[in-house]
Amino acid sequence: MFGWTPILSAILSVLPPRVCTWLERYQARMSEAAGDLEEIRLRAERPVQLVSARREGFLTEAGELVHDAAGAPALRAEEIVETARRASRHSVYAFEEELRQGFLTLPGGHRVGLVGRCVVEGGRVRTIDPVSGLNFRLHRQVTGPARPLLPHLASPFPPYVYSTLIISPPGAGKTTLLRDLARLLSDGEGWGPGAIPPRKIVVVDERSEIAGCWLGVPQLSVGSRTDVLDRCPKAEGIMMALRGMAPDVVVTDEIGRPEDLLALEEAQNAGVAVLATAHGVSWEEVISRPALRDLRDYPYFDRVVLLSRRQGPGTVERIFRPESCAASGSGPRAGRARPPAGRGRSSPSRPSIHMP
């Protein structure tokens, strides 16, 4: 049987049968490379494209990858439509909210991006009909990458967690690192005096990428003391968590709007640490954006982790403390409180760390 079944069973159940056959042949030819598969892209009247960390190309009937699309069989439009129906369990209406956002989630946390003709009502996308393209993004749980960072982002005594912003360009592993941090902090790490005690975590997962929820249940491990607000806008979700869940740490992905920063400030004032991510290649680039410029003037974060793909996804280039006034030369904005005592900048600090 197909060698990828433990990871791909949910995807294989919705793919066109002949595509499953081609993939099985590809796996037999490229067993090692097949394990690195990241995306399976289906397009109407065009061939199947496979994307991995090391290669990409179009899939032939013999299970080979070719760079010329003319050398691979094209899929029929009706195959794409039927695949979309299977992915939505033949109930597109039940998944309209997901379709508005351009994706579906499968069991196992796999995500299916959809494109095609958008049906717009009242200035908003109501659905996509017909669907003409699908991108199956494979989720694999990667555990352990955050463990070396824990001594710089959390302290066993006194017990606290530094609010941390993870910055990276697309595909450099920021969500994987964020997920693993949530898992480690939720379950606790180590034994004895130097152990990091377990924490109550709330993940605000607006894009369903951190926990990979299927029908509200996390498909990826985010820790035994973690609760998830799935598909919830970040700012609203952070406030909901503060009001109802009494978290020690809030985890969220890809901040980028002014209202996100206002919610982060409320979390700080409540003594709750925040772990978040942002797209970028440097701290300077992030704080230059109009929506995030307040990061220059107010200490929302105690630590910044900068990632790259220089030595592969998840390469830690630098861990440092952002100095709240470094860019502007001014103090905190008028009327804004500093983090509560015992956390943030009043907590014991570590020197800046530069990591290759």
Question: How many alpha carbons fall within 13 Å on the CB side of residue 87?
Answer: 31
State the pLDDT at residue 156: 84
User: Which segments of the chain have a pLDDT < 70?
Assistant: 1-7, 31-35, 90-95, 97, 192, 324-356
State the pLDDT at residue 31: 67
Tokens representing residue 112 in the block: 């299916």
Q: Which domains does the chain have, with CATH numbers?
A: 5-137 (3.30.450), 147-354 (3.40.50.300)
The Cα–Cα gap between 136 and 126 comes to 22
Question: What's the DSSP call for residue 134?
Answer: E
State the pLDDT at residue 299: 86
State the pLDDT at residue 1: 39
State the pLDDT at residue 185: 97
Residue 244's φ and ψ, nearest 5 degrees, are: -115, -20
Residue in 242, 183, 238 with CA at minimum distance from that of residue 206: 238
The Cα–Cα gap between 29 and 10 comes to 22
Write down the H helix ranges in the chain: 5-12, 17-29, 31-34, 77-87, 96-101, 150-153, 174-187, 234-244, 258-269, 283-287
